Amino acid sequence: MKVSVLNIKGKETGRSVELSKSIFEIKPNDHAVYLDVKRFLANNRQGTNKTKERAEIAGSTRKIKKQKGTGTARAGSIKNPLFRGGGTIFGPRVRSYSQKLNKNVKKLARKSAFSIKMKEKAISVIEDFDFDTPKTKSFIDVLNALKLSDKKALFVLGNVNKNIFLSSRNLKRTSVVTNSEISTYNIMNAQHLVLLESSLEQIESNLS
């Protein structure tokens, strides 16, 4: 599929690029997309929440009252979870939520995500650009020219560009990643993808 290349002013440059059908025009596999998005979200969970259980509470182990004759339930420790200040029953423990996924499934998920966005006509290709200095207003001008100021946009760079990254950092609805950082979640979470020309070759080599 041929896609016109735009400049940062939103105008056509008169050039076009051929996007690989094996990446941007496959039949999407919704289950692969689901698995990869679930893996991404799970791997981002910290899993550091922790409460103290009965054995971890600091306190006396003295039997607090006699076993029989009180008319109430027996109790052997002040650390009993039923008492105020006692341990938590089956509380959360430090754990890892990370999940693994076959690399071929991850590739399929990413291809499916690209194909979904292409079907929605939510992908633009623009020529490589740079700013002299990091400036948020300069990046906003690019968004306005591409008519993306009111949408969640994901810019995919071919290489790390500090000026572009810093210029977009304060914008909540816009993300900038390199082609090695792109994920199925990022693609599906964005309303529009903006691919720089330099990123296309590497995307195709990574997913071919």
- For residue 193, the cross-strand partners are 123, 154
Q: What is the distance between the alpha carbons of residues 177 and 111, in angstroms, rounded to a whole number?
A: 17
Residue 28 confidence (pLDDT) above 90: yes
Q: pLDDT tens for residues 171-207? A: 999 999 998 899 999 999 999 999 999 999 999 988 9
Q: In the 8-state DSSP scheme, what is residue 44?
A: T
Q: In the 8-state DSSP scheme, what is residue 54?
A: G
How many contiguous H segments (helices) and E segments (strands) does the chain have?
7, 6
Evaluate if pTM is beyond 0.85.
no
Q: What is residue 26's predicted lDDT score, i.e. its pLDDT?
A: 94
Q: What is residue 52's predicted lDDT score, i.e. its pLDDT?
A: 94
Q: pLDDT tens for residues 77-108? A: 999 999 999 999 999 999 999 999 999 999 99
Q: What is residue 60's predicted lDDT score, i.e. its pLDDT?
A: 87
The enclosing H or E element of 196 equals: strand 192-196
Quickly state the pLDDT bin for 117 (edges 50, 70, 90): very high
The residues spanned by each domain of the chain are: 2-45+101-207, 47-96
Q: What is the distance between the alpha carbons of residues 81 and 115, in angstroms, rounded to a whole number?
A: 53
Please, what is the average pLDDT of the chain?
Answer: 93
Q: What is residue 2's predicted lDDT score, i.e. its pLDDT?
A: 87
The enclosing H or E element of 135 equals: none
Domain 2-45+101-207 fold is: Ribosomal Protein L4; Chain: A; (3.40.1370)
Q: What is residue 61's predicted lDDT score, i.e. its pLDDT?
A: 84
Q: What is the distance between the alpha carbons of residues 184 and 117, in angstroms, rounded to a whole number?
A: 11
Ramachandran area for residue 10 (φ above 0: left; ψ -120 to 50: alpha; else beta): left
Q: What is residue 68's predicted lDDT score, i.e. its pLDDT?
A: 93
